[in-house]
Homo-oligomer: A and B are copies of this chain.
Amino acid sequence: MAISKTKIYEPLTTSRAINLLKELDFFKKDSILTCNEIGDGNLNLVFQVTEPQSGKSCIIKQALPYAKVVGESWPLTLNRAKIEADALKLYKEHVPQFVPEIYYTNDDLAITVMEDLSSLKITRKGLIAGEEYPHLPEHLGEFLAKTLFYTSDFYLEPPAKKILAQKFSNPELCKISEDLVFTDPFFNSDTNDFEPELYDDVQTLWNDFTLKLEAAKLKKCFLTESEALIHGDLHTGSIFTDQYTTKVIDPEFAFFGPIGFDIGQFFANLIFQLLSNPKDKERLISGYIVDAWNTFEKTYSDLWRKESREKYTEVEGYLDFVLKKIFQDAIGFAGCELIRRTIGLAHVEDLDGIFDNDLRINAKKASLQLGRAFIKTRGHHIGPESILPLLSETAAYAAINKE
């Protein structure tokens, strides 16, 4: 039976992965291929298949019907493979330079065959290794502006947008974010995970009802505001990069949500680098954030002026209102991301990988402090310059405040 035509889901093996690519004529039947499973195995299988003779290669990503987290498994819709493939195809229409090529998709098998990006590095790992990516901010700024403008009611006819929103309805993966980003870290939940040294800070956070009220508003925004197709998981582990190239991957959490979410997640995941290396990286990371926002703002404003189909975009002040809302939402969502990656279920290597115990704890305390400040003060910020003092304070705190 031809693998590419089957309608019955079965996880691939390396040999089935090879057969699939030969069936698809991606490689010749008599090619000699190598195949390695390179995924982290929690949610997806990822096979890298290479023809050593020609150097030609590709990636097969297959969703698993469950998620493995903290040793347990729970069922998880295979439909996320379709969402991911559909989002990548849609991105390709607007920002082909920032996404991998998609060669083949099969919704029944939950499979996407795509460009092998292994010549690039995962941005998180590159940053941790001390690399700098001068083009990353402007690339992401452009990616965000274009994907978030072209899928909004400002560009699409509203009925077309609503039909697209149905296609990207993603209840199960949204639920993961609703719980793990917006709820669990703010309450004493079983999923939380943090060092005993953080206990007092976490208690303070859980008892900060001003914070919780603001977190409630941000969760409501995430639950109800269908502004544009957002990536939904745009941390630095979802971005491949080198000095010249930026590729966004893994939009399996994509759905129609608030524009600020993607921007906030990206900002927060850059900030983990500032926290992990406060003396050396404050200027670099602050610069990345300013550059990314400025590119976003400029690109989005140009699109608004030139390509909007919404009559009200002519009205003086409306663009400023929309940009201000996006920025304030982004800062709030960045605050949630800082907190949840510090004390919630899913951590980041930037912080957990800090070898020195005191420095790591300090960095995490600083992360919680900045997260709380972002969430509570987001209404006062209208652009990246006004958050720079907060970043400086946080860097200073992370650097020197040894216990």
A contact residues vs B (CB 8 Å cutoff) = 153, 158-160, 162-163, 165-166, 169-172, 174-175, 178, 183, 187, 209, 212-213, 215-217, 219-220, 223-227, 311-312, 315-318, 321-322
Contacts and interface: CB of A to CB of B under 8 A. Distances in A.
A154 to B, nearest CB: 9
Nearest to A187: B311
Given A158-B223, A163-B171, A212-B312, 11 more contacts: A158-B175, A160-B171, A163-B169, A165-B169, A166-B169, A183-B312, A213-B321, A216-B315, A217-B318, A224-B225, A225-B226
Nearest to A228: B224
A206 to B, nearest CB: 11
A316 B153 contact: no
Which 3 pairs between the two chains have the least Cβ-Cβ distance? Answer: A159-B171, A216-B312, A162-B171
Given A225-B225, A321-B217, A315 B209 contact: yes
Classify the interface of chain A: helix, strand, loop or mixed: helix
Interface centre among A170, A219, A220 (most CB of B within 10 A): A220
Contacts of A169: 162-163, 165-166
24 contacts: A153-B224, A158-B174, A158-B175, A159-B174, A162-B169, A162-B170, A162-B171, A163-B169, A165-B169, A166-B166, A183-B312, A187-B311, A209-B316, A212-B312, A212-B315, A213-B316, A215-B312, A216-B312, A217-B318, A217-B321, A220-B322, A224-B226, A225-B226, A226-B226
Nearest to A318: B216
A153 B209 contact: no
A171 B223 CA distance: 20
Given A183-B312, A225-B224, A226-B224, A213 B318 contact: yes
A165 to B, nearest CB: 8
A307 B187 CA distance: 20
A125 B265 CA distance: 54
Nearest to A313: B216
Contact of A172 (B153, B159, B321): B159
Contacts of A224: 153, 225-227
A218 to B, nearest CB: 10
Contacts of A172: 159
Interface centre among A171, A224, A311 (most CB of B within 10 A): A224
Contacts of A212: 312, 315
A175 B163 CA distance: 12
Interface centre among A165, A183, A315 (most CB of B within 10 A): A315
A323 to B, nearest CB: 13
Contacts of A159: 171-172, 174-175
A228 to B, nearest CB: 9
Nearest to A221: B225
Contacts of A316: 209, 213
Nearest to A170: B162
A230 to B, nearest CB: 12
Nearest to A157: B175
Contact of A153 (B158, B213, B215, B220): B220
Contacts of A321: 213, 216-217
Nearest to A182: B312
A252 to B, nearest CB: 16
A165 B168 CA distance: 12
Contacts of A163: 169, 171
A11 to B, nearest CB: 25
A312 B393 CA distance: 30
Contact of A209 (B183, B226, B227, B317): B317
